[in-house]
Each structure stands twice: as structure tokens, then as C-alpha cells.
Amino acid sequence: MTQDNLGRLLSDVDDYIARTFSPQDEALSSALEDSRRAGLPEIHISPAQGRLMQLLAEISGSRRVLEIGTLGGYSTIYLARALPENGSLVSLELDEEYARLARANIERAGLSEKVDVRVGDARALLSEMRETFDLVFIDADKEGYPAYLDHALRLSRSGSLILADNTIFGGAVIEGSEYADAEEEGVYLREFNDLVAADERLSATIIPLLRERVDGMTVCRVR
């Protein structure tokens, strides 16, 4: 199979999973449409990944969720939909404009009562936090991932899940590979994965995410 065919196959498979298990309703498609119109970077999770994250939150019975990196609230909607009646989600976002749009998207999805979008540098916001979470999703600046891991562990209990987006980054995490020179993010993400793998408090692996570009999500369970 040629590289071109492989690229098309990955993208067709991702679309197949999305339309079979993660069809876009009004709230999800409008969230993306309004985000695009407002000029936000198109770096939200895929529908297939959203469904996977929602399912992980459901399987773990998560009631309290922390998200680091809101953007337009697309991933927030998937995670918040996994919550029971009395569940809640805190999402941290540096950019005030993004946060405002995210709140509107979350409102349209009927999830405002469960979701609290907080504006500021996640490192500063996290330093002030003391509550415990059942699931933490790390998806902000890649340089911050090692620090976010420390906070996620501090704010977790035994059995909590820690998820981290983009931990393959087109292969940029593979040291010395032809993909590695492409992006400096690879260095931080590799450090993050190595920290996770070496941490005896965590049981973890990476789920590959096969889109036009190969990526992955690190999934950890706190022992």
C-alpha cells in the first residue's frame, strides 16, 4: 500500500467510527462551526476521540472531571455528557475570548449547570486547587504537560483516570526518528510519556489515534 492510500484508509476508518458511534448533533456541530467562524485554531479532538473519552468517563463512573485546555469547549461537551445528574466539570483556559465562546457552546448543549470554565494560566489556577477529581484531561500547552501531570496526581485519588491528548504528535515523540525533527512539542511530550511510564503510582499506556495525522492519547489509572 502506498503512503497516499494509507493516509486515505486512516481517515476513512476515523470517519467510519465517527459516523457509526459519534454522530454530530446540533450542539457539537454548532460548537465547531462557531469556533471556526471566530477564527479559533482547529485543534479540537476528533468525534471518535470524544466518544472514547466520554466512554472512559462513563466506565470509571466519574462525577468530578478536570479539563486543562478548553478551546471552544468541544471536548468539554463530550466529557460533560458522561456525568451523572450531580456531576461537575472544571475546565481551565488561558484565553478569555476562547472561554467566552466555550461557555456559549456549553450553554447551547444544555450543560452550563455542570460546567465551570475558569480563565487563567493553568499552572497558576491549578496551584490554588485542592479538590479531588475522578478524571483529569490534559490538553493545553505541551511544554506544561510534566507540570500538569504533577497537579493531576496531587488532585487524584486511587482509581482516578488521567488522560493526555497529542502524546504521539505525528510521531514527533519518537526520539531520533525522521518525524522527531518536525516539532519541538515532541520533546515535551516524550518527557511526559517517560515520566508516566516510570511512575509507579500509575498504570498506563497510549491509545493510538489514527487520523490524517497519527496521534495518541496517554491513558493512566492512578493505583
Strand-by-strand arrangement of the 135-138 sheet:
115-119, 88-93, 64-68, 135-138, 161-165, 214-222, 202-210
With contacts defined by CB under 6 A, name the span among 13-21, 40-48, 186-194, 198-206 that binds ligand SAH: 40-48
Q: Pick from 13, 17, 45, 20: which is nearest to 32 by CA?
A: 45
Residue with smaller CB distance to Mg ion, 69 or 87:
69
CA 5 to chain centroid:
28
Place of cell 459519534: 22
Smallest gap from Cβ 124 to ligand SAH, in A, equals 8
Interacting residues with ligand DHB between 153 and 212 (CB under 6 A) = 165-166
In whole angstroms, the minimum distance from the beta carbon of 139 to ligand DHB comes to 5
- Least Cβ distance, residue 192 to Mg ion (angstroms): 13
Q: Which is nearer to ligand DHB, 87 or 170 (CB)?
A: 170
Specify the residue, 64 or 145, whose C-beta has the smaller distance to ligand SAH: 145
Site track for ligand SAH across 138-177, x = CB under 6 A: -xxx--x---------------------------------
Among positions 100-139, residues that touch ligand SAH (CB under 6 A) are 121-122, 139
92 binds ligand SAH (CB under 6 A): yes
Site for ligand DHB in 119-148 (CB under 6 A): 139
Cβ-contact 149, 167 below 8 angstroms: no
> Closest distance between ligand DHB and the C-beta of residue 61, in Å?
26
Q: Which of 187, 216, 184, 220 is nearest to 45 (CA)?
A: 216
**Angle ∠(183,189,190) on CA atoms, nearest 5:** 100
User: For ligand DHB, which residue has the nearest CB?
Assistant: 43
Surface-to-core class of residue 89, CB atoms within 10 Å of its CB (0-12 exposed, 13-18 middle, 19+ buried) = buried
Residue 117 host element (H or E): strand 115-119
Tell me which residue has its CB nearest to Mg ion. 165
CA distances from 214 to 3, 22, 133 (A): 13, 19, 29
Using CB under 5 A, list all residues that contact Mg ion: 139, 165-166
In the complex, least distance from residue 80 CB atom to ligand SAH, rounded to whole angstroms: 12
Closer CB to ligand SAH, residue 13 or residue 38?
A: 38
CA dihedral of 123, 99, 62, 152, whole degrees rounded to 10: -10
Where does this chain bind ligand SAH (CB under 6 A)? 43-45, 69-71, 74-75, 92-95, 98, 121-122, 139-141, 144
